[in-house]
């Protein structure tokens, strides 16, 4: 099912007060909840979702003094995804210093009242995550706000789901795993600097795995050093050169 986006115009968003910071990619997404009281009546009344999203934006702009709502996307119990700052824009909700690493996706779930994320909330969050991967270069990570920041967010039930690997609920069709690109047929190594799409493909996958590496298509010193560290981690011969075995490990080895 395609994402069911609610545009900013549709939910009556205020204009941002300034320009967003730009993001070309992130390591992934952090999941949030609203916390506080969310009336269980929200499940039967989408108008309440719209009102809640607007009140969150007001709180972020007028209370926190932010230029806009702090989330990238906001998900309601009707599997609708409200546009926040959107892909390629720096969010604000993850906490200082933690916004360039992950987009921020909110589920409209409280700490009292409506506290259990329904299947449609979980599907909606995953629709949002896929959209951010597709449009905003989000990597594979799905984490909770509390990972690396002192907060209860995203609450017990949502965090437990994140820790289980954020599966699609209900045994519905699962998404095929990322296609594993075949070895390009040349060993990526340095020096001299090697240039190419194969370099970029490998760097993108390393970045998805959490390595701090530029996805620039240039295999230089930084790529070599990351490669060598990865090879050591996986018990491969630490040559700093991406041969067939290292290429395959980059897709097949579990992320630790």
* Site of interaction with Zn ion (CB under 5 A): 32, 46, 49, 76, 78, 145, 153
Shortest spacing between CB 40 and Zn ion, in angstroms = 13
Nearer to Zn ion, 138 or 242 (CB): 138
User: Is the Cβ of residue 76 or residue 138 nearer to Zn ion in the bound state?
Assistant: 76
Find the shortest distance in angstroms from Cβ 191 to Zn ion.
Answer: 45
- Find the angle CA(68)-CA(133)-CA(128) to the nearest 5 degrees: 55
Closer to Zn ion at the Cβ: 37 or 237?
Answer: 37
Write the DSSP assignment of 162-214 as a string of letters: HHTT-PPGGG-PPPPPPP-PPP-SS-B--SSPEESHHHHHHHHHHHHTT----
Q: Which of 246, 255, 62 is nearest to 141 (CA)?
A: 255
Give the residue carrying structure tokens 């909606």: 124
Closest approach, Cβ 78 to Zn ion, in A, equals 4
Cβ nearer to Zn ion, comparing 47 with 255: 47
Nearer to Zn ion, 32 or 60 (CB): 32
Q: How far is CA 171 from the centre of its chain?
A: 23
Nearest approach in angstroms of CB 43 to Zn ion is 8
C-alpha separations of 224 from 186, 193, 237, 239 in Å:
15, 10, 13, 8
Give the nearest distance from C-beta 136 to Zn ion in angstroms. Answer: 19
Q: Closer to Zn ion by CB, 153 or 242: give it.
A: 153
**Residue 242: CB minimum distance to Zn ion, A:** 37
Smallest separation, CB 164 to Zn ion (Å): 19
**Beta strand 218-219 pairing with 194-195:** antiparallel
Residue 242, phi then psi, degrees to nearest 5: -85, 95
Query: Nearest-CA neighbor of 123 among 163, 166, 154?
Result: 166
Handedness of CA 135, 54, 160, 121 (dihedral sign): negative
Q: Kindly report the CA angle at 147 between 57 and 48, in degrees rounded to 5?
A: 30
CB closer to Zn ion out of 162 and 227: 162
Strands 102-107 and 26-33, bridge-based pairing: parallel
């Amino acid at each position: 099912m395609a994402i069911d986006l609610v545009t900013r115009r549709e939910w009556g968003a205020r204009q941002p007060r300034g320009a967003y910071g730009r993001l070309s990619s992130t390591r992934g997404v952090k999941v949030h909840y609203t916390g506080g009281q969310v009336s269980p009546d929200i499940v039967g009344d989408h108008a309440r979702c719209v009102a809640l999203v607007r009140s969150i934006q007001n709180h972020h702009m007028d209370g926190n003094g932010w230029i806009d709502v702090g989330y990238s996307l906001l998900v309601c119990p009707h599997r609708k995804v409200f546009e926040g700052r959107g892909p390629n824009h720096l969010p604000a909700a993850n906490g200082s210093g933690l916004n360039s690493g992950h987009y921020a996706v909110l589920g409209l779930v409280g700490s009292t009242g409506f506290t259990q994320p329904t299947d449609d909330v979980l599907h909606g969050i995953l629709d949002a995550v896929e959209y951010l991967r597709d449009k905003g270069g989000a990597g594979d990570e799905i984490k909770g706000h509390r990972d690396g920041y002192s907060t209860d967010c995203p609450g017990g039930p949502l965090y437990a789901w994140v820790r289980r690997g954020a599966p699609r609920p209900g045994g519905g069709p699962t998404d095929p795993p990322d296609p594993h690109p075949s070895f390009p047929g040349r060993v990526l190594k340095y020096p001299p600097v090697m240039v190419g799409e194969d370099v970029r493909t490998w760097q993108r996958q390393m970045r998805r795995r959490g390595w701090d590496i530029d996805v620039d298509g240039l295999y230089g010193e930084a790529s070599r050093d990351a490669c060598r560290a990865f090879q050591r981690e996986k018990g491969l011969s630490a040559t700093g050169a991406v041969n067939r075995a290292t290429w395959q490990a980059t897709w097949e080895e579990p992320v630790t």
